[in-house]
Amino acid sequence: MSESHIKWAVSRLSSTGYQIRSSSPDVIQDNPWSTVYRFETNKGFVFLKTMPKKLSIEAEIIAILRKKFNAPVPRIIASDQDLCCFLMQDAGIKLHDYFKENFQSKIFIKAMQDYAALQMSSHNKTQVFLDMGVPDWRLEKLPDLYANFIAHDKLLLEDGLNSEELTKLKKLEPRFISICEKISNYKVVDTFGHADFHDKNILVDSCTNETTIIDLGEVVITHPFFSLHNCLHMATENFSLSSEEDQMIRYESLKPWLAWETQENLLEVMALINQCWSIHAVLGELRLMNSVEQSSFNKLHRQGRLARKLRYWLNQ
């Protein structure tokens, strides 16, 4: 537990009218790229999140999303850029936990459509995020990002790829470029996107069914269907959805985008995204790994986090 973060949180909460039940909060998440503590107060639960410097723009991103886009994001109580932390109000439980007993497609689809509305409203305002330091993963940039990470032979071999797979990965570079070019021919353009969008990063208020997107330190500017596909893929796996349920949810989640493209074209884009989305996921893993201290990096890069995702691409 970081004493400086806890002292700061207790001080800020006390000065803004919160009565804290205990100055020793519960640790509800602890990994190399973030730690989340929970305080019990007279106004309900309050969460303190700490993160590495390279991911510390999260509070600023949340503020802009709420102010400029009226987005379904956490309500920030206070933040400290020097300490790389912020306090936020409780917004419910994770969809992943809420749906354990009973998957509710209406709530999930509403979350997907609300997220799509946010993405669509940001398509002509992406420079706001780029100026903040949000990574630029637009379609035109992805081939260079691919070329950069496949050049790190030692990193990829130590993570679990063999030399034959590494050679194949390099031979597939022109194919990746071709897919990105094909996607860019459609009318769905690059927008704000969550690089790790799935049911564990969406909260739901069990009383109102309103959803909130969290872990926004991992946002990028990229094609919106990478995050959409990731969330749909994870939901199908996590909740063992049938092919019929998966198809229905996919169609409903794409409905907002009919303002930009025909349904046939949207499905074609999703099919292209399906071929290369794991590359996008690898970029997300690399970003997290590169945000942590060297000791944590050394542990993470030998766990197969990259190799597992790259094999999805290699085996197609």
What does each C-alpha distance from 187 to 182, 268, 277, 279 come to in angstroms? Answer: 11, 12, 19, 22
C-beta separation of 55 from 64 below 8 A: no
Q: Please, what CATH class does the domain formed by 94-314 belong to?
A: alpha beta
Give the pLDDT confidence of 243-271 residue by residue, as tens digits.
Answer: 999 999 999 999 999 999 999 999 999 99
Query: How many other CB atoms are there within 10 angstroms of residue 274's CB atom?
Result: 15
Q: What integer pLDDT is reported at residue 34 of this predicted model?
A: 92
What is the distance in angstroms between the CA of the first residue and the CA of the last residue of the chain? 44
User: CB of 140 within 8 A of CB of 184?
Assistant: yes
Would you state the pLDDT for residue 238?
A: 94
Looking at residue 295, what is its pLDDT?
76
pLDDT (0 to 100) of residue 260: 97
The pair of structure tokens assigned to 144 is 């260079």
How confident is the model at residue 22, as a pLDDT? Answer: 85
- Mean of all residue pLDDT scores within the chain: 94
The whole-model pTM stands at: 0.94
pLDDT at 297: 76
Where does CATH 3.90.1200.10 sit in the chain?
Answer: 94-314
Sign of the CA dihedral with 100 first, then 104, 105, and 107 last: negative
Pairing of strands 93-94, 191-194: unpaired
Please state the length of the chain. 316
Helix, strand, or coil (residue 20): strand
Q: Which candidate, 28, 73, 23, places its Cα nearest to that of 50? A: 28
Residue 177: what pLDDT? 98
Question: What is the Cα–Cα distance from 218 to 212, expressed in whole angstroms?
Answer: 15
pLDDT of residue 36: 96
State whether residue 174 is helix, strand or coil. Answer: helix
Structure confidence at residue 1 (pLDDT): 46
- How far apart are the C-alpha atoms of 294 and 149, rounded to whole Å? 18
Q: What is the pLDDT of residue 249?
A: 96
pLDDT score of 189? 97
CA distance 279 to 170: 13
Contacts of 164 (CB under 8 A, 6+ apart): none
Q: Tokens 């959805």 identify what position?
A: 241
Q: What is the model's pLDDT at position 215?
A: 95
Segment-wise mean pLDDT, segments of 10 residues, the chain, 316 residues? 86 95 90 93 96 93 95 96 96 95 94 97 95 96 97 93 97 98 98 96 95 96 97 94 94 97 98 96 93 78 86 92
Specify the amino acid at residue 173. Answer: E
CB atoms within 10 A of CB 16: 12
Q: What is the CATH number of domain 3-89?
A: 3.30.200.20
Q: Are 297 and 152 in contact (CB under 8 A)?
A: no
**219: phi then psi, degrees, rounded to nearest 5:** -80, 155
DSSP label at residue 75: P
Q: Which amino acid is at 91?
A: A
137 contacts 283 by C-beta, under 8 angstroms: yes
Rounded-to-integer distance, Cα 86 and Cα 77, Å = 8
163-171 and 173-184 helices cross at what angle (nearest 10)?
40
Q: Which residues contact 63 (CB under 8 A, 6 or more apart)?
A: 76
| pLDDT value, residue 64 | 96
Contact partners, residue 155, CB within 8 Å, separation at least 6: 301, 306
Where does the chain hold its CATH 3.30.200.20 domain(s)?
A: 3-89
